[in-house]
Structure 1
């Protein structure tokens, strides 16, 4: 199914039903469809056409959804951009995907527009009163535009380029068609038992693959309501759950833990409407799960596992399985996904053994953008090689052991260690560096740097942070700095990061 057809179908099924909520603003499905068609006209007038790439760098606002469906209606490709990136990082991504037109939130506009003045930038002012909107704002242009009319395009068209950090530190763009994205939505709706009366809170960044394809598109596929929290904040999340009678939400483990730490009166909020507390980007141990269940007064926690390359689709640990199997990612794949744990010789691992997790699903990406070698490396026939190491227990449940790919996941964000290392190597006082993740009960992992300073240098944590914050996003900046005379290496000269991880453990 083409994603614009997905929305059209939802409009026909329930035109007056609430589709999107943002602060005090509300759109039913008919109004969402109308806004999407008007956005298509605005984007066409800005120079976007079939096959072109639209970069969108916003918070969780309606403009993101309007622009996405508008681009898809035109036959263009959506390229979600991390709103936390710095100018140089944005420039690299825009150049790599070849974006012709871009939409940015006014709050971060200068940081983004400086990245590539050759791109046609549209600026969104989602919180400005109607009578105070700049005439050239995305919202003003939307209100003045005539709804676009055009023929539906095939679902084999490219719908999205989702960027993910790789082991080299160079961003890779996962190319997804409308079919793979729509199937991800359908498989997710089945896995999470989404219903037409769903009220799903999108509190994690919508430009991430899971909040976009699994949660937002899954909810719209089921005919439910998407409630947008502009940017995650613990008390704000609890307020929205209570006010909007949220039935489901998704977050990195820290997003569910933070309210218990940062909101002293968290127990005073009514969260009884939530039927599904979904979490991903890292497992929760049994003790933490029990603490969350007690605090929120429910056992309805569900873990989801996947990656941008597969939609993301992968595996899920259901609420009833948490009592005995908390920490596992599930038993086999979620609906529509086949999962194997594979030994180095290509055979299936047995109970008690570890191996690489392989996934086979129709939601898998078409490939990495302009990178045939990297694409060939991760595919084995119909199977996607995740690079994650998993261990099977006697009951067939799979637990993540480690990542073969050298990526640190902190608070749900992927950090390529080599990208951070590259930024640190530019520091005049750094001679050698290695960046690894330290396990953390709330964030999943935190970023740690081991640095060999130049002789006589006075490198410290504050100086390192100041240097890096001008070059990379803040969540990538190491939380800890350890100075060393030398780093452990193999005889061939490669740094043995497992030695450093063992030190931290």
Structure 2
């Protein structure tokens, strides 16, 4: 299915139902599709042609969805851009994907448009009323345009390029077709499952693969309602749940933990409408799961596991398994997905054994953009090699015990350790460095820099963070600095990060 057909079908079956809600703004399916077609006209008049790439760098606002579906109606490819990136990072991503047109939120426009790339920027003013918006604002242009009436493209055309951090430290672009993404939405809706009367809260960044493809598109597929929270904030999440009678939401574990810990009047909010508390990018231990169930007055918690290369799809841990199998990602794949744990000898891992988690589904990316070597490395026939090491228990449940890739997942954000290391090596007082994750009950992991300083130099965490701030997004900055006279290495000279991770897991007394 082409993604424009996904929306057209929803219009036919649910035309007068609420499709998208953002604060006080509301669109029915008929109104939303009309705006998306008008956006397609705006994009075509700005020079976007079939096969071109449209970069979109916004918060969770209607402009993101208008631009996405506008691009798909116009036959172009969507490239979601992390709104937290610094100028140099934006520049690299836009150069790599070859985008010549982009939509950006006015609040972050200066940081984005400073990138030295030949891109035309359309600026979104999501919170301004029609009378206050500039005439050249993306929303003003959409309102004035005629709906696009072009023909739908083939479902094997490229729909998205999703950027993800890899072991090289540079983001790689996962290339996905319309059919693959439509199947991602379908498998997700069947696997949780989602319902036609859903009011799904998107509070995690919509440019992430899961909020966009699993939850926003899975909800729209059914003709249900997507409620956008501009940016995650614990109290606002509770307020939105109560005001909009939210029935389901997704977040990193910290997104569910933070309201309980940081909102003093948490108990005064009515969250009884939520029937599915969905979390991913890390597990919950049994004690935390129990505390959250008690706090939210619900045992309907679901953990999901997947990655951008797969759509993302993978496995899930059902509500009944949250405590008994806490820490596990489930047993097998969700509907439409096959999951194996493969030992080094190529055989499937049995009870008590560990191996690499492999996934197979028709949602899998066609490959990494312009990187055939990296693509070949992660494909094994029809299977995607996740790079995650999983241990199988006696009941067939799989627990992720380590990552073969040195990617740190903190608060749901992927941080490539080698990217941070590369930036730190530019500091004049850093002689050697390794960046690893320390397990953290709320964030999953925190970023730790283990540094060998130049002789005679005095380094502090605050100084290094200040030096890194213009170079990296804030979530990539180390939260802890450990000074060492040397780093542990193999005989061939490679840093043994597993040794550092093991030490950090039990604490360290050499923090700087």
TM over 0.5: yes
Structure 2 equivalent of residue 267 of structure 1: 267
Are 1:72 and 2:103 matched, yes or no?
no
How many pairs were matched up? 505
Matched-pair contact (CA < 8 Å) for 1:201–1:226: yes
Query: Could you list the runs of 5+ residues in structure 2 that have no partner in the other structure?
Result: 506-512
Deviation at 1:323, TM superposition (A): 3.0
Deviation at 1:152, TM superposition (A): 1.1
Are 1:352 and 2:359 matched, yes or no?
no
CA distance in 1, matches of 2:266, 2:54: 40
Structure 2 equivalent of residue 405 of structure 1: 405
Structure 2 equivalent of residue 45 of structure 1: 45
Structure 1 equivalent of residue 255 of structure 2: 255
CA distance in 2, matches of 1:383, 1:100: 34
Are 1:32 and 2:32 matched, yes or no?
yes
Deviation at 1:45, TM superposition (A): 0.9
CA distance in 2, matches of 1:405, 1:487: 19
Structure 1 equivalent of residue 21 of structure 2: 21
Structure 1 equivalent of residue 238 of structure 2: 238
Deviations 1:72-103 (CA, angstroms, capped at 9, x unpaired): 01110000000000000000000000001000
SS of corresponding position for 2:328: coil
TM-score, L = length of structure 1: 0.99
SS of corresponding position for 1:242: helix
SS of corresponding position for 2:415: strand
SS of corresponding position for 1:122: strand
Matched-pair contact (CA < 8 Å) for 1:94–1:116: no
SS of corresponding position for 1:239: helix
Q: Tell me: CA distance 1:117–1:342, structure 2 relative to 1, closer, same or farther (3 Å).
A: closer
SS of corresponding position for 2:143: helix
CA distance in 2, matches of 1:418, 1:143: 44
Say what the alpha-carbon RMSD is for the aligned residues. 0.6
SS of corresponding position for 2:146: coil
Deviation at 1:2, TM superposition (A): 0.2
Structure 2 equivalent of residue 431 of structure 1: 431
Deviations 1:175-207 (CA, angstroms, capped at 9, x unpaired): 000000000000000012111100000000000
SS of corresponding position for 1:341: strand
Matched-pair contact (CA < 8 Å) for 1:195–1:223: no
Mean CA deviation greater in 317-326 or 26-35 = 317-326
Are 1:96 and 2:96 matched, yes or no?
yes
Structure 2 equivalent of residue 84 of structure 1: 84
Structure 2 equivalent of residue 141 of structure 1: 141
Deviation at 1:118, TM superposition (A): 1.5
Deviation at 1:356, TM superposition (A): 0.3
SS of corresponding position for 1:116: coil
SS of corresponding position for 1:130: coil
Deviation at 1:326, TM superposition (A): 1.5
Structure 2 equivalent of residue 178 of structure 1: 178
Matched-pair contact (CA < 8 Å) for 1:103–1:124: yes
Deviation at 1:117, TM superposition (A): 4.7
Are 1:388 and 2:367 matched, yes or no?
no
Structure 2 equivalent of residue 222 of structure 1: 222
Deviation at 1:304, TM superposition (A): 0.3
Matched-pair contact (CA < 8 Å) for 1:106–1:123: yes
Deviations 1:147-189 (CA, angstroms, capped at 9, x unpaired): 1101111100000000000011011000000000000000000
Deviation at 1:322, TM superposition (A): 1.5
SS of corresponding position for 1:79: strand
CA distance in 1, matches of 2:341, 2:13: 41
Structure 2 equivalent of residue 459 of structure 1: 459
CA distance in 2, matches of 1:380, 1:100: 34
| 1:312-351 equivalent positions in 2, closer than 5 A | 312-351=312-351
Deviations 1:371-404 (CA, angstroms, capped at 9, x unpaired): 0010011010011000000011111111111101
